[in-house]
Amino acid sequence: MQHSNRFVFATLLPSALLLSTLLGAPWAGAAQHEVIYPSDERQQRQLSISASVEAEQHALLASQQAGLLAELYVEVGDQVKAGEPLLSLDSELAKLERNQARARVSATKAAADEAQRLHLELKALAAKKFVGASQISERQAQAAESKAELRQAQAALAIKQEQLRRHTLYAPFDGLIAQRLVNIGEWVTPQSPAFSLVEQDKLRLKLAIPQEYWQQTKLGAAVSIAADYDKQQQWTAKIDRLVSVSDRQSRAFTAYVSLPPAARLTVGMSATVSIQLSGADSQRLWLPDSAIKRHPDGGASVFALEAGKAKRYLVTIAEQRDGRSAVLGAPAGRAYVAKGVELLSDGDQLDIAKGQEPSQ
């Protein structure tokens, strides 16, 4: 009979455990949960982007006139000033045409002067009644026609002088000759670049900012810049320009940051830019990795102790370090289950270990 009682007890024990679990009531053999009060920190959100240094002015220069390249005045690596000549084309024909236009101006000026003299002379005779009014009108028309021909000749001379000037290519701004794309003896046209000129004094960083940060990125936002070749080289600046058009391929919009004069960066180098995003600071809770329940879909959740039950919060893991994780989306000032969360569900009754001292 004693053996029979033992059999009945062994049979009923699993059923009692199951019933206790379904009713959410603790039992003497249930595992007690440990809780922890996590440390929280408020941190302004930052976005770090790798960017390339570019010049505000970077131009491919071409001659304004087609012709045979006769002289090169600069070479790759030369620093040039605005207005400095860079190359010249063979201009003998242009000079001859300019001289021809000058001669035409001289001839028409002499004719205009003579027509004006005759007009004035005839006006003096008309005052003495020696000539008629019709002759005066004719001489006046001839003088006006001569003046018009002179202005036409002067305009033609100005065109020839400008064409001659365009046989020389001048630097449009101060900069560095980065490329020379032509050689003496070649036929150049306005469609064929001759030099690449890069401004050295005004440099900037071009940033491709993901579209999800559009609302948090503001014009004038503070940024910190670290040179990729030496992270010890750091500077501060701000966003100077925002281009409110997103690229269809990358789904990013463009921002520009002007480099401070002290920045030791040149065109083509890379740097890491950290942007202070606007909006409310993010609150992060540091919890042990054992307190985080991982979901099959890649998400995560934690469980807080509320009225003796488990309250689930969906969280985002912002950072992991030394067995701890910084999570976003959980309120501060509450006790969280420190381990054994894999089988917990929202609303489960929690049996907290008696005498446990919450850690800060």
Output 167 or 16, whichever has higher pLDDT. Answer: 167
CB contact set of 168 (below 8 Å; sequence gap of 6+): 85, 87, 88, 89
Q: What pLDDT is attached to residue 149? A: 94
- The closest alpha carbon to 240, from 219, 226, 261, 222, belongs to 219
CATH architecture type of domain 60-89+168-201:
Beta Barrel (2.40)
Q: Residue 67 to residues 74, 99, 165, 192, 260: CA-CA distances in angstroms? A: 18, 19, 13, 11, 42
pLDDT-derived band at 38 (thresholds 50, 70, 90) equals confident
Mean pLDDT, the chain, rounded, equals 84
> Which residue type sits at 74?
V
pLDDT-derived band at 44 (thresholds 50, 70, 90) equals low
Give the residue-averaged pLDDT of 260-268. 90
- CA dihedral 68→73→79→82, nearest 10 degrees, is -70
Q: Which residues of 260-295 are buried (b: 16+ CB within 10 A; e: fewer)?
A: eeebebebebebbbebbbeeeebebbebbebbbbee
> In whole angstroms, what is the distance from residue 83 CA to residue 72 CA?
15
The superfamily in CATH containing domain 48-56+202-276 is Efflux pump adaptor protein, beta barrel domain (2.40.30.170)
Gyration radius from the chain CA atoms = 43
pLDDT-derived band at 337 (thresholds 50, 70, 90) equals very high
Q: Which residues pair with 220 in a beta bridge?
A: none
Domain boundaries, the chain: 48-56+202-276, 60-89+168-201, 92-166
Whether pTM exceeds 0.85 = no
pLDDT-derived band at 14 (thresholds 50, 70, 90) equals very low
Burial zone of 352 (CB within 10 Å; 0-12 exposed, 13-18 middle, 19+ buried)? middle
Q: Class assignment of domain 92-166?
A: mainly alpha
- Name the percent of the chain lying above pLDDT 70: 84
Find the DSSP H helices in the chain: 2-23, 92-127, 133-165
Q: Residue 76 to residues 7, 72, 115, 197, 335: CA-CA distances in angstroms? A: 98, 11, 57, 10, 68
pLDDT-derived band at 31 (thresholds 50, 70, 90) equals low
Q: What pLDDT is attached to residue 121? A: 78
Encode pLDDT of 272-302 as tens digits. Answer: 999 877 654 457 788 999 999 999 988 899 9
> In whole angstroms, what is the distance from residue 293 CA to residue 300 CA?
6
Output 129 or 180, whichever has higher pLDDT. Answer: 180
pLDDT-derived band at 140 (thresholds 50, 70, 90) equals confident
Query: Is the confidence at residue 166, as pLDDT, over 80?
Result: yes
Query: Is the confidence at residue 127, as pLDDT, over 50?
Result: yes
Q: What pLDDT is attached to residue 26? A: 43
Residue 245 φ/ψ, nearest 5 degrees: -135, 120
